[in-house]
Amino acid sequence: MNARCVALVGILLVVRVPIACGDGGIGGCMASSCHGSSQPDAPIWQRAGKVWFDNDPHAQAYAILHNEASRAMLERLLGRPLANEAERKQILESRCVSCHASENTNVDLRPLGIHCGSCHGPLNAWGEDHYSLATLSKKESRFDGTERVALPDWSTQVRKCAECHIGSIRDSNPSMHVDHQLMAAGHPPMPFEFSNYLERYPAHWSLAEDADSEQWMRWRIGKLETAKARLQLLIDRCQIEGDWPEFTEYSCSSCHHELDATGWRAGSKQKANQGGVAVWDDWYLNYLELAIEPAPETPWRTFASQLDALRSTMESKTPDRMLAANHASQLLESLQQSQGNLSRTNMDRDAVKQSLENLVDIEWPPHSWEQGVQWTLAVRAMTRSVQLPSPELNLGDDFYDGFFVSPRTWRRGQSSSFDGSSRFSPGALEEYRSGLRQHLGKQP
Render 280-319 in DSSP notation, one character per residue: B--TTTTTGGGT----TTS-HHHHHHHHHHHHHHHTSSS-
**Of 108 and 189, the one with more pLDDT:** 189
Q: pLDDT band for 161, please (50, 70, 90 cuts).
A: very high
Q: For position 169, what pLDDT does the model report?
A: 84
Q: What is residue 316's predicted lDDT score, i.e. its pLDDT? A: 92
The confidence band for 122, taking pLDDT boundaries of 50, 70 and 90, is confident
- CA gap 34, 31 in Å, rounded: 5
Percent of the chain with pLDDT over 90: 20
Q: What is the pLDDT of residues 30-69, one digit of tens each?
A: 888 888 888 989 999 899 988 888 888 888 888 889 899 9
Mean of all residue pLDDT scores within the chain: 77
Peptide bond into 407 cis (omega under 30): no
**Residue 305: Cβ within 10 Å count:** 12
Whole-prediction pTM: 0.85
What pLDDT, on a 0 to 100 scale, did the predictor assign at position 434? Answer: 80
Task: With beta carbons less than 8 A apart as the criterion, state whether 122 and 147 touch.
Answer: yes
Give the model's confidence band at 79: pLDDT under 50 very low, under 70 low, under 90 confident, else very high: very high
Which range of 82-91, 128-137, 186-195, 259-268 scores highest in mean pLDDT? It is 82-91
436 vs 295, which has greater pLDDT? Answer: 436
Q: At a CB cut-off of 8 Å and minimum separation 6, what does 302 contact?
A: 294, 334
Task: Give one word for 144, left, alpha or beta, with left for phi > 0 and alpha for psi -120 to 50.
Answer: beta
The domain locations on the chain are 180-439
For Cα atoms 343, 344, 350, give the angle at the middle one, nearest 5 degrees.
110
pLDDT in tens, 335-374: 887 766 565 445 577 878 888 888 888 766 676 777 888 8
Helices (H), 133-214: 133-136, 154-165, 180-185, 194-200
- Specify the DSSP class assigned to residue 92: I
